[in-house]
Structure 1
Amino acid sequence: MPRPSMREHLIEAAHDRFHEHGFNGIGIKDITDTAGTPKGSFYNHFDSKEAMAVEVMRRYAESRGMDMLADTSVPPVERIRGHFAYLMADLERYDYARGCMFGNFGAELSTQSPTVRDEVGSRLGRWASALASALDEARAAGALASGVDTAVLARFLVSAWEGAAMQAKVVRGSAPLDDFFTVFDSLTA
């Protein structure tokens, strides 16, 4: 089996370091040291730290269980709730210390980096769109108690989740996420 490339080592190292310390909390040397690669190798694979952050977010998005939202073999409310439960388990796995990378980068870089801000916005928009589709199915099945437009409700759920994930990071516990689920459950029939 071929060895992973230096690029892959760098992405894995950056993912962990960004998630633990934020974008501004680490430097390229920290990433290359963690990856066990020479600092100069970074620029063989990435034009900038921002370009690396965009790639890390792309990979992070793939691990967020978005496919769960489209699994029509599961009732829509159950799959939405299952999706958020999956995200909660991931936060719990790190003792709530990491939060959500999208929210972390959005809060940290929205005024510093248009490139990262646009990527965060795009990722949050795709998430809201996937949620809106599942909410449309829930409404059609008579399982959605709220009359709010599903696109608005989906954006609200993304924003509420991001806020709850940030608060869970601050209090290092699940109470804000439990509150999220309490409100979510009140929206379903």
Structure 2
Amino acid sequence: MSKPSLRPNLIAAGHDLFWQNGYAATGVREIVASAGASPGSFTNHFASKEDFAGEVLERYFAYVCGLVDEALADDGLPPVARLRRYLDLITSKLEEADWARGCMVGNFSLETAPTSEPLRQKLADIFMRWRQPFAACIAQGQASGEIADAFSAEDLADVLLASWQGAMLRMKVERDPAPLERFKTIVFPLLFGKTSS
């Protein structure tokens, strides 16, 4: 009988350690020890630390996609209210970590994009996939006249995600939700105000 794969344990351990310490400060030995695996098991499953980190990012992004689906679900609320629901849902998750963690995709973007081309490409792909449900929700709001159509839904989705990442960065630095609330109070209404007619 074959042994169960240690791959899920390694990815779970890497997720927790990258989340807590960042990419550079987390070594393969630490990941292996946390997973209760032997040192050789890592190279049996992953070609490199970069390859491994890409899989950890996919695991995290799957979690984020679940939150996006929950918040943006077309359940009768207008599109702007569903977009706002996403921000409020994420704010509650950030509060659980005492405003210290932010978003793993954003953390990796700051830390690894300048030095790792494979991870930069992985992050670029994640952002492209991330914007799709937001663009669809925004397009629905534009079609109904709730959201101005001076800019494309895709561009507005990109600006929403990039600006929100910036607010989370400031939140982590300040250990305070004030940057998130400023975003909701100032930036969000500017992006998703009603059409003038």
Do both proteins adopt the same fold according to a TM-score greater than 0.5, normalized to the shorter chain? yes
Q: CA deviation at 1:140?
A: 1.4
1:24-44, CA deviations, whole angstroms, 9 ceiling, x for partnerless residues? 011001111111222211112
Contact 1:132 1:154 in 2 (8 A): yes
Report deviation, 1:134.
0.6
1:23-62 pair list within 5 angstroms:
23-62=23-62
Question: 1:69, CA displacement in angstroms?
Answer: 5.7
How far, CA to CA, are the matches of 1:35 and 1:97 in structure 2?
A: 24
Question: For 1:34 and 1:97, how far apart are their aligned partners in 2?
Answer: 22
Q: State the 1:75 CA deviation.
A: 2.5
RMSD of aligned C-alpha atoms?
1.8
Distance 2:51 2:22 in 1: 15
Which consecutive residues of structure 2, in runs of 5 or more, have no partner in the other structure?
none
Distance 1:52 1:88 in 2: 28
64-73 or 4-13, which deviates more? 64-73
Tell me if structure 1 keeps the 8 A contact 2:71–2:89. Answer: no
**How big is the shift at 1:19?**
1.2
With over 3 angstroms needed to count, the CA separation of the structure-2 counterparts of 1:93 and 1:14, relative to structure 1, is same
Amino acid at match of 1:102: V
Q: CA deviation at 1:21?
A: 1.1
Cα displacement (A) at 1:107: 0.8
**How many residues of Structure 1 are paired with residues of Structure 2 in the alignment?**
187
TM-score (normalizing by structure 2): 0.88
TM-score (norm 1): 0.91
The aligned counterpart of 1:164 is 167
Match of 2:155?
A: 152
Are 1:188 and 2:197 counterparts?
no
Contact 2:72 2:86 survives alignment (8 Å): no
Q: Read off the aligned partner of 2:69 and give its amino acid letter.
A: D
* Match of residue 71, structure 1, among 67, 70, 73: 73
Q: Secondary structure at the match of 2:156?
A: helix
Offset of residue 4 of structure 1:
7.3
- AA at the equivalent of 1:72: D
Q: Cα 1:4–1:89, aligned 2, differ >3 Å: closer, same or farther?
A: farther
Matched residues in 2 for 1:69 and 1:114: separation? 32
Q: d(CA) in 1 for partners of 2:7 and 2:78?
A: 40
2:18: which partner in 1? 18
Residue 176 of structure 1 corresponds to 179
Deviates more, 1:139-148 or 1:58-67: 139-148
8 A contact 1:95–1:172 mirrored in 2: yes
Give 1:140's aligned amino acid: A
SS in 2 for 1:168: helix
C-alpha distance in structure 1 between counterparts of 2:5 and 2:176, whole Å:
37
The correspondence of residues 102-121 of structure 1 with structure 2, limited to 5 A, is 102-121=105-124
Deviation (angstroms), 1:110: 1.0
- Report percent identity of matched pairs: 37
Contact 1:69–1:130 (8 Å) recurs in 2: no
Q: Distance in 2 between matches of 1:70 and 1:84?
A: 10
Instruction: State which drifts further: 21-30 or 179-188.
Output: 179-188
Q: Gaps (5+ residues) in structure 1?
A: none
